[in-house]
Copies of this chain bind each other. A is one copy, B any other.
């Protein structure tokens, strides 16, 4: 028994799996003795049972009855009673916060009888009828699935009929009439009466919340946030307290520190004489907490005390919902608060300085995604600009894009490759798709805790909210502000750190964190007078240095040119994990490569190869000079054959047209013949990598010789080059053996020519399932492994990024097969299993095998944790991602092995 329901007094914050985040924290606050209205939580276990069977478990009804009775006994009131009725709120609360995703019903227990009890009890008839009106409206929309606008229109009509503009101007009688109207709406739309039985209301509300877990928009959100579908939500049934009992009542949201900048001191929004939803929805503009201190210093003092208590207890920024009922503070919710990236770094360091957490903990409180955000450029303060308005900076960053006015258009335009900024009066959960598609979000209403602000911060989108000066006209699809008219498609720019909204495009500048990473702390600090910025830079430096000191994984970079290598080194790369030699065959050299590949005579081929050698050698000399003293892994030619040949279809058309016009160019005809001969139906599965190297004589030998000569030149010049030769697309040890023998021969030759000994490590890209499955054999010949996880993902799944990433991925995300592209985050269960096999079996053959990863996953935070857990020596990523990888590698060390397999 009692697995489906727990009283608030029974749980604690560690029971998030069972009680959801909200329930666990309500229990924790109850335990701490903070003023939480009594109530109980229906556990996620009940939701899972509901999802399995589609029905409410019979045991749940019994347990709810018992819990309700305990609640009634404790408060001495009965649900929906004619006298002093007990009313309850019914709120969802999953393990992970899903803001605005699921349903809430307040004032459950009100009916034609108890509304009078409430009037009596509260001494405020108007309040009672307003509460009843709210119940029917919320219940109608949430539980009965009616259009919200039906009720909103009726409300507007009532106000218009009375010639007033604000809800509070409606009298008790007006509201009584409105309740009848609302009940009529329910009757007309559903064919049934609004349920009068309090327990029936409660049961229906509970079912509505349980069902809200499975809605399309909730699924979409979870997929985006990688929350498993099978967790289920808890349901919190809490005795109602009222923020709308007049001017000494109100409701608010508070943060123990500024979640936008990380500044110390409390921070929040308060709405006098309002119920909870009014704040979160951002429908009315709010007061600050400082205003509250003036309005009700006693309640404010209690709140401050509770906030300090919570922050010390949770040892982190807390986010709180509270209500003041006639001067009495009630805590409705708390959780560790979401924050912007700058705030995350600054708060982590503050908490260390306040001796609340250790540096290791500080490291675990920030993440690579946040660091990435800090690297975004900002608007150039000296650039030309036309300021349209200034509003609330809700989520930092600098976004430039075309204004669009609805979510669907935003998604369509984004799919066409356009940058769009979603402009809305206010956002609601239906706008989620458009918010994901947009580069920035601008709203005319709502505060920093409005839906738009919270969701944008969560997903790292730039957002400016509450721009009241905006007059949005959906008919002409434009907005007007301070004399300017902006149509859909016009470019605007928004600054999520300042709240500025600009007309047209605005030039952007590197972020101070970028400056720090590229040019060092001193330069970055000297570049700004802004204390917040300086504090942020120092926080990043402090945490990143701790990450470097802590991490086990080395971080290398993928860099093809000396310039990229130099940049990577500045950003902290400890080597080059992947130098692709493909780019060295582009431009005017391309024709030489074409000649090598298409040559039918050895002499022609050799001539082209000879011409390429000095060019290649110089590339490598430059690269090795920049990477002096550090490992530099150079991959032999890898890309599909066709990349070096003219396009088959284009050439076919050209020749056909020439033939039709009688102007045949014999060279083209011959070229077409050659290209036809070499044409591949599936170039990704064709002659490439080591296969091309083994089939085209001299190609790999040229590259190996160029590498060896470059090393010799650098050594003779007094340098310390550490070039390593990487063979791509190996599927069998024998392929590597042949190339390795050739390489050893060339090393000996070049060594003899320069009077030195060359002993370059020769290793492989592990990018085919067979390479991973036969890693024990391959390690006999390979001195290092480097996972090419892009190709490995491609072959393990049997789809190529080029071919399936468009429509297919969209479909696959929608139907839940993929929650994230396996090209972005490593597929631990499939591709990752091959990685594990190769690591274990490769090291069994050669215990000192160096193993890294050089696919794009090397820069992905979640993937880096995986690579740390399987014991890789390094990750290699694009130079830009190096700081992120350093941070994530440090976090991985602090967190210990992550063995989650999705």
Contact = CB atoms under 8 A, between A and B. Distances in A.
Could you tell me the dominant secondary structure of chain A's interface residues? Answer: helix
A845 B876 CA distance: 37
Nearest to A776: B829
Contacts of A777: 829
A816 B735 CA distance: 9
Interface string A819-844: 00000000101110110000000000
A831 B799 contact: no
Interface stretch (A314-322, A507-515, A790-798): A790-798
Contacts of A691: 799, 804, 808
B695 A807 contact: yes
B796 A769 contact: yes
B769 A816 contact: no
Given A734-B816, A830-B769, A803 B681 contact: yes
Among A767, A799, A808, A818, chain B packs the most CB atoms within 10 A around the CB of A799
A661 interface: yes
A790 to B, nearest CB: 12
A731 B827 CA distance: 12
B685 A798 contact: yes
Interface string A471-495: 0000000000000000000000000
Nearest to A685: B800
A734 B685 contact: no
Among A660, A686, A734, A773, chain B packs the most CB atoms within 10 A around the CB of A773
Interface stretch (A118-126, A443-451, A613-621, A649-657): A649-657
A257 to B, nearest CB: 41
A683 to B, nearest CB: 6
A773 to B, nearest CB: 5
A808 B695 CA distance: 7
A774 B684 contact: no
B798 A682 contact: no
A770 B794 contact: no
A535 B817 CA distance: 60
Interface string A753-789: 0000000000000011110011001000000000000
A811 interface: yes
Contacts of A773: 796, 829-830, 833-834
A219 to B, nearest CB: 13
Contact of A683 (B682, B794, B815): B682
B682 A684 contact: yes
A804 B686 contact: yes
A682 B769 contact: no
Nearest to A680: B803
A796 B795 contact: yes
B770 A831 contact: yes
A802 B684 CA distance: 12
B794 A768 contact: no
A805 to B, nearest CB: 11
A729 interface: yes
A729 B681 CA distance: 19
10 A-B pairs with the lowest CB-CB distances in the bound complex, closest first = A685-B800, A770-B830, A686-B803, A769-B769, A768-B798, A734-B817, A653-B656, A680-B803, A682-B684, A649-B649
28 contacts: A652-B652, A653-B653, A656-B657, A680-B803, A681-B684, A681-B800, A682-B683, A682-B684, A682-B802, A682-B803, A684-B685, A685-B685, A685-B800, A686-B803, A686-B804, A691-B808, A695-B808, A731-B830, A732-B817, A768-B796, A769-B834, A770-B796, A770-B798, A770-B831, A777-B829, A791-B798, A795-B795, A795-B798
Given A687-B803, A687-B804, A768-B798, 6 more contacts: A653-B656, A681-B802, A682-B682, A694-B812, A738-B817, A768-B797
